[in-house]
Amino acid sequence: MLLPSTRESLPHPSDTHVRGRRDNETVRITVGDLEPGRVGLFDPDAGTLLAEGRLAEFPSLVALFEHMRPRWVWSDTRRWAPLLLTAGVRIERCSDLRLSAAILEWSTDADTSRTEHPPRPSWLAPGPAELALDATHAAASIPGAAAAPATASSADRVALFELDELDDVADGGPREGRIGEASGAASDALGRATPHQVADEHDRQLAIVARSARPPRLRLLLAAESAGALIGAELTAAGVPWDSATHDRVLTDALGPRPRPGAKPARMEELAAHVRIELAAPTLNLDSQVELLRALRAAGIRVDSTARWELREHDHPAITPLLAYKRLARLLSANGWGWLETWVIGGRFRPDYVPGGTATGRWATSGGGALQLPKQVRTAVVADPGWQLVVADAAQLEPRVLAAMAGDLRMAEAARGRDIYQGIVDAGVVATRGEAKIALLGAMYGATTGESGRLLPRLARAFPAAMALVDRAAATGERGARVTTLLGRSSPLPPASWRATQARATEPDATAQDERRARSSARDWGRFTRNFVVQGTAAEWALCWMAGVRARLARLGELEDQSDASPPATAAGPVFARRPHLVYYLHDEIIVHTPAELADEVAVAVRESAADAGRLLFGEFPVDFPLDLSVVQSYGDTGD
DNA sequence: CAGTGTGGCGCG
DNA sequence: AAAGCGCGCCACACTG
């Protein structure tokens, strides 16, 4: 087992005197603030304060204990991990209580009715522990999951903060908004937690997990989520190796030389002039949708928007230069010289990752647009001298996840050892690879019309189990209930406005329009929950994959530390300068920056981790997760 | 004038 | 004409 959480580690021999602990127990150490500016490390199982010191001493205190390979338990990885990384201290594993609470808060797997003592209120979780809203949801998305006959007692529903600012929580209504998002008050509370409070919260969470219907799955999810949080902090610390000169060349080739502030690049001006002539609109500002739409219609081009997909359908001499202009405008505003100056410092792009930042468990980023790096500028991602990039993405991850979740053997068979879309063609389900792709995406996204909708029945006939899973998830969402991923992340409830719309349609004086609107919004939410179970479980696979890669890279790095075959990647910071390390993550794709002589071993580690992730989630179910993997100097050289 | 909403487009 | 999910960011347009 490679995932930090699931590997039981032996305490260092010299630690056995620290406390009488069985060898197979994982040591945990909680981290918190004792008073402003002072940090404490606490052993909750021995009840001992292990160490305390000034905030500046925190990394060296952690370093003192890391050889015991403890699980570091803290409120928020985004607060604590950067302090360690800038000081050159790497840890093996942690528990992020903020992210865990966000998952457990809605974990309908947790059954509070079976215990005399409901979980203690949390100073951490921003909402009431609504633990039993929909007993059937688990069965809807987890094969073989038993529905927990749980009802939340009112004691579970107390507001967890005794803070007036959180009135909206105290009413006990469903919380809306982003997963893992903390209010200002919550952030303050997080910052002030003592190591003892952190320990209490951890105990509370462990108790919820233990009472849940599927403790091993939730345990894996929380471990993976926490590993992800650590990786997110490490990705920022290491940064994406970025060659600004290459980026500048891309910009100059496309746009012309960098213009003075306020001016448009030469290529854009040329194209704009061209468009103005063709539209006979000499003063047209192409950046204004309003003006542009008016000018297009005045020129006899019947469009309802200025969107590219719509413009593309028209044959008019203004269209080609207009589309070229829009493409350049996008490049300039999203990833132009301004972006380069703001986001690339010292040869590294350091985006701010937000692990668990979306409803489905995918990550978000804030600033820099790291998850939207256009293919065009990926040539600027270049390994340091003597280093290489191992770029890998999981081929058709979501359909494979769906096949495995649903236990659909025929679909898994179509995927095994090949392109799943081709496999579907070979199985005689549809005629072409293109049709297979459209049909499968349509199944996961909830298409109803067009080519996709037309192909769905054939897919359903060939793969009834897979189709039934997503259809069930959609039906659950249409009822306004939650669905759950394989490991136990639950979807949010629809907003109050959604419920109001549904309620209105059932009133005696409801109009046809009320009913239509209710039906439409129910379908909308059903498409969300349909996709949630697949996208969310795929995100879980990716977290496990990445956690495995991280663990294996750490082992390679220990060896590499002894050698100096490659020059250090000093811009990667003190922890990673001589070790292969993750530098980029994009839903189903990773990049490892590695000393060149280790690239082949890294590639093996990445592949083995993918296989491990499949087994962690799906056991021996015969599904595979092949990777498209390349060892390159530049991200632009991967061939896709 | 700042704050908010929307269209458009990049990524998976 | 966006059929069909999840995001973030930019510029423009509108609101108060």
Query: HEC string of A488-500?
Result: CCECCCCCHHHHH
Poorest-confidence range of A62-66, A91-95, A162-166, A294-298? A162-166
Mean pLDDT value across residues A556-577: 85
DSSP symbols for A514-581: HHHHHHHHHHHHHHHHHHHHHHHHHHHHHHHHHHHHHHHHHHHHHHHTT--SS---GGG-TTTTTS-E
Strands (DSSP E) found in A279-386: 344-345, 348-349, 352-354, 364-366
Of A237, A268, A290, at which residue does a domain stop? A237
Same domain, A162 and A14: yes
CATH classification at residue A519: 1.10.150
- Predicted local confidence at residue A565, as pLDDT: 79
**Nearest-angstrom CA–CA distance, A292 and A329:** 14
CA distances from A574 to A82, A255, A266, A281 (A): 12, 38, 42, 57
Is A282 among the domain residues? yes
Q: What is the pLDDT of residues A65-106, one digit of tens each?
A: 999 999 999 999 999 999 999 999 999 999 999 999 999 987
Is A346 among the domain residues? no
Is A534 among the domain residues? no
- Predicted local confidence at residue A561, as pLDDT: 60
Same domain, A25 and A139: yes
Cβ A547 vs Cβ A3: under 8 Å: yes
- Predicted local confidence at residue A153, as pLDDT: 26
- Chain mean pLDDT for chain A: 85
Strand B nucleotides with an atom less than 7 Å from a protein beta carbon? 7-12
Nearest 10 degrees: Cα torsion A307, A312, A314, A317 = 100
**Nearest-angstrom CA–CA distance, A319 and A325:** 10
- Predicted local confidence at residue A152, as pLDDT: 26
CA A406 to C1' B4 (Å) is 43
CA A178 to C1' B1 (Å) is 30
For residue A112, what pLDDT band results from cuts at 50, 70 and 90? very low
Same domain, A87 and A143: yes
CA A153 to C1' C9 (Å) is 43
Distance of CA A180 to the CA centre of its chain: 12
Task: Find which nucleotide's C1' atom is closest to A291's CA.
Answer: C12
Assigned token pair, A518: 């209710």
Same domain, A220 and A86: yes
Task: Find which nucleotide's C1' atom is closest to A305's CA.
Answer: B7
CA A119 to C1' B6 (Å) is 44
Domain containing A589: what range?
351-396+539-637
CATH classification at residue A386: 3.30.70.370
Same domain, A31 and A176: yes
Same domain, A331 and A372: no
Cβ A125 vs Cβ A106: under 8 Å: no
| Total domains, chain A | 4
- Predicted local confidence at residue A529, as pLDDT: 97
Helix, strand or coil for residue A110?
Answer: strand
Same domain, A482 and A547: no
- Predicted local confidence at residue A144, as pLDDT: 29
CA A403 to C1' C8 (Å) is 30
Res A109 pLDDT > 70: no
Res A13 pLDDT > 80: no
CA A538 to C1' C5 (Å) is 13
Res A132 pLDDT > 90: no
Q: What is the pLDDT of residues A145-157, one digit of tens each?
A: 222 222 222 222 2
Is A310 among the domain residues? yes
**Nearest-angstrom CA–CA distance, A103 and A110:** 11
- Predicted local confidence at residue A560, as pLDDT: 64
Poorest-confidence range of A12-26, A339-353, A601-615, A616-630? A12-26
Q: What is the pLDDT of residues A182-235, one digit of tens each?
A: 333 344 445 579 999 999 999 999 999 999 989 999 999 999 999 999 999 999
Same domain, A367 and A460: no
Same domain, A214 and A268: no
Q: What percent of chain A has pLDDT over 70?
A: 82
Mean pLDDT value across residues A586-608: 97
Nearest-CA residue relative to C1' of C8: A369
**Nearest-angstrom CA–CA distance, A241 and A572:** 8
**Nearest-angstrom CA–CA distance, A77 and A222:** 13
A564 compared with A342, residue with greater pLDDT: A342
- Predicted local confidence at residue A106, as pLDDT: 72
Mean pLDDT value across residues A101-114: 62
- Predicted local confidence at residue A563, as pLDDT: 67
CATH classification at residue A250: 1.20.1060
**Nearest-angstrom CA–CA distance, A418 and A546:** 23
Mean pLDDT value across residues A111-130: 39
Of A214, A237, A260, at which residue does a domain stop? A237
Mutual orientation of helices A397-406 and A599-618 as an angle, nearest 10°? Answer: 30
**Nearest-angstrom CA–CA distance, A637 and A240:** 16
Q: What is the pLDDT of residues A390-446, one digit of tens each?
A: 999 999 999 999 999 999 999 999 999 999 999 999 999 999 999 999 999 999 999
Distance of CA A55 to the CA centre of its chain: 30
Indicate yes or no: strand C within 7 A of the C-beta of A527: yes
Cβ A416 vs Cβ A423: under 8 Å: yes
Q: Which of residues 305-334 of A touch strand C (CB under 7 A)?
A: 305, 307, 309-310, 313, 333-334
* End-to-end Cα, chain A, rounded Å: 32
Indicate yes or no: strand C within 7 A of the C-beta of A445: yes
- Predicted local confidence at residue A8, as pLDDT: 30
Same domain, A173 and A206: yes
A189 compared with A621, residue with greater pLDDT: A621
Contacts of A433 (CB under 8 A, 6+ apart): A419, A421, A422, A425
CA A136 to C1' B2 (Å) is 48
- Predicted local confidence at residue A566, as pLDDT: 87
Indicate yes or no: strand B within 7 A of the C-beta of A460: no
Same domain, A210 and A105: yes
Q: Which residues pair with A581 in a beta bridge?
A: A593
Res A2 pLDDT > 90: no
CA A420 to C1' C1 (Å) is 29
Q: Which of residues 551-610 of A touch strand C (CB under 7 A)?
A: 587
Res A567 pLDDT > 50: yes
Of A340, A359, A383, at which residue does a domain stop? A340
Same domain, A489 and A570: no
Res A494 pLDDT > 60: yes
Q: Which residues pair with A35 in a beta bridge?
A: A38
Is A533 among the domain residues? no
Is A455 among the domain residues? yes
With tokens 């500028």, the residue in question is A377
CA A165 to C1' C10 (Å) is 33
Res A533 pLDDT > 50: yes
Is A345 among the domain residues? no
Res A143 pLDDT > 50: no
Is A532 among the domain residues? no
**Nearest-angstrom CA–CA distance, A49 and A502:** 54
Q: Which of residues 207-266 of A touch strand C (CB under 7 A)?
A: none
Mean pLDDT value across residues A270-282: 96
Task: Find which nucleotide's C1' atom is closest to A587's CA.
Answer: B12
Indicate yes or no: strand B within 7 A of the C-beta of A364: no
Cβ A476 vs Cβ A466: under 8 Å: no
Res A108 pLDDT > 60: no
- Predicted local confidence at residue A190, as pLDDT: 53
Mean pLDDT value across residues A491-514: 93
Indicate yes or no: strand B within 7 A of the C-beta of A375: yes
Q: Find, among A60, A410, A77, the residue nearest to A231 by Cα.
A: A77
For residue A266, what pLDDT band results from cuts at 50, 70 and 90? very high
Indicate yes or no: strand C within 7 A of the C-beta of A359: yes
Mean pLDDT value across residues A114-123: 41
